[in-house]
Amino acid sequence: MKIVTFNCNSVRSRLEAVLRWLSEHSPDILCLQETKVQDAEFPAAAFADAGWHVVFKGEKSYNGVAIVSKQPADEVSFGLDTDPKDEPRLAHARFGRVHVLNTYVPQGRDIEHPMYAYKLEWFARFKRYVTKRFEPSEPVLWCGDLNVARHPIDVSSPETKKNHVCYHQAVRDAFEEVLAFGFTDLFRHHNPGREDYSFYDYRAPFDPERKRGWRIDYILATAPLAKKSVAAAIDIAPRTRPKPSDHCPLVAEIEA
């Protein structure tokens, strides 16, 4: 099966691009983040008309997650266990035995800002959520915009970003602590040493060779799925078309 994660930066603004991408690549599951739309205004009919199932939780202007799929989900829920549950940041869907977790992790704003402490605690709360529900021997996929670059190879000019909320040591440690549950980083597993990024800041200077970016979008799999994973790649093609998101789709292929 093919699974994809994509921070679309507004599902309404990017609707045509998303539907075209779905049509061309035919994934089994697509996780979207930053849909930026209330549920009543979500373009559900456009997905249904194109033959897709979709579940979503959003709010006005900010955040919002959705899971698009070929087959309908067998079970769906939103949010963490404790307040604030952040429902527009966490979607869970089960497809048969496979659990999909789609997260949009808080960005953090600045390492001095209360939102950064909130972000660090968010990772800890998410680990409790995962540990409470699942065993590492079960098939679980954790996808999304995690707003953290793991290693120096995952960001351009890492030495200048030590105090950035997406690369500061504390957030990298918080991320590793969740990975220790038993998640494999599928992109890095299949592409050791490869310097691809999934996010390019709109505010960065014109960068046609895409040398200035971050790898902050992930597909993470527990052992039974990681063993069957055959490929993972970042698709930069959408960035070469009009009105690109600041993120790129990340695709993973898993056998059976």
Q: Which residues bind DNA (CB under 7 A)?
A: 9-10, 12-13, 36-38, 60-62, 106-107, 109, 115, 147, 201-205, 243
Element (H, E) at 58: none
Bridge partners of 158?
none
Give least dist CB 77 to DNA, A.
23
Taking the least distance from each CB to DNA, the nearer of 95 and 175 is 175
Q: Are 215 and 186 within 8 A, CB to CB?
A: no
Which C-beta is closer to DNA: that of 56 or that of 95? 56
> Considering only CA atoms, which of 102, 85, 103, 108 is closest in space to residue 171?
108
Spatial separation of the C-alpha atoms in residues 85 and 139, rounded to whole Å: 24
Write down the least CB distance from residue 88 to DNA, Å.
11
Q: Which is nearer to DNA, 172 or 212 (CB)?
A: 212
Among residues 111, 99, 245, which one has the least CA distance to residue 183? 99
Whole-number minimum distance, CB 228 to DNA, in Å?
32
Q: Which is nearer to DNA, 51 or 205 (CB)?
A: 205
Q: Least distance (Å) from DNA to the CB of residue 99?
A: 26
Residue 187 near residue 233 (C-beta atoms within 8 A) = yes
